Amino acid sequence: MTEQINDFQKDALHYLHMLEGDGVELLGKTAVSTKSTVEEPGDVIDFKSTVMTCKKCPELAMCRNSVVFGDGNMKADLVFVGEAPGAEEDRQGLPFVGKAGQLLTKMIEAIQMRRQDVYICNVIKCRPPNNRTPLPDEIGNCLPYLEKQIKTIQPRIVCALGAVAARALLNTTRSISSMRGHNFEYQGAKLIVTYHPAYLLRNPADKKKAWEDLKRVRSELQS
Ligand code: SF4
């Protein structure tokens, strides 16, 4: 058992070492497929069709190329929730596929999981123009979709990536630093708050704090 933990620590430190550099392109060579390994049931497909044609936010509906519903394992124990699609996500129609997505993939692998083991989505499903922060009305319009996604998947852990996601899920205005390190509850799942990968790309010094959060995610999954 001790030997396994040491191996895990060794792997994790290896990832952390890579994450601390700016070699995200290099890391991208090992990117894992984002395709779900579990078939989606009919009611989920109907729900998805509703979301994919949604125009509740007129500005976003007019500017988007894609509605980025979410992607991954519909029976996942772990769901990551980000803020909103970016340019690459809007182009491909998939969440976290740009540089921040490559970093998220490595963060998932650092806790010895594969990207296809988890589910990944955002608080809002359409890209805000120029990547501006989603407006409260937009979050209010889209949040019921996220709530239904979580209710359908019934994960054990929800990991909020960044302040916008954490505040939306917890209906609070607290700072991310005051939410990190605490366990919250969301629809029966434990909710753990960490930094958004895009923030970590801009602030690499905080990757060590994110690693502490990921270790808590891993520990909760093993408990
Ligand atoms: S962000 Fe959500 S609520 Fe707004 S138009 Fe897109 S899918 Fe609809």
Question: Is the CB of residue 175 less than 8 Å from the CB of residue 163?
Answer: yes
pTM: 0.85
Say which residues have a Cβ less than 8 Å from residue 118's Cβ, sequence separation at least 6.
72, 73, 76, 77, 78, 79, 80, 108
pLDDT tens-digit map of 114-158: 999 999 999 999 999 999 999 999 999 999 999 999 999 999 999
Write the single-letter amino acid at 43.
D
pLDDT tens-digit map of 167-180: 999 999 999 999 99
Residue 44: per-residue pLDDT: 74
| Ligand 1 touching residue 142 (CB < 6 A) | yes
Residue 45: per-residue pLDDT: 75
Residue 170: per-residue pLDDT: 97
**Average pLDDT of span 87-100:** 96
Q: Whose CA is nearest to atom 2 of ligand 1?
A: 142
Give the pair of three-digit tokens for residue 154.
């019934």
Q: Which domains are present in the chain?
A: 2-32+42-222 (3.40.470.10)
If pLDDT is split at 50, 70 and 90, which confidence band does 12 have?
low
Ligand 1 atom nearest the C-alpha of 84 is 1
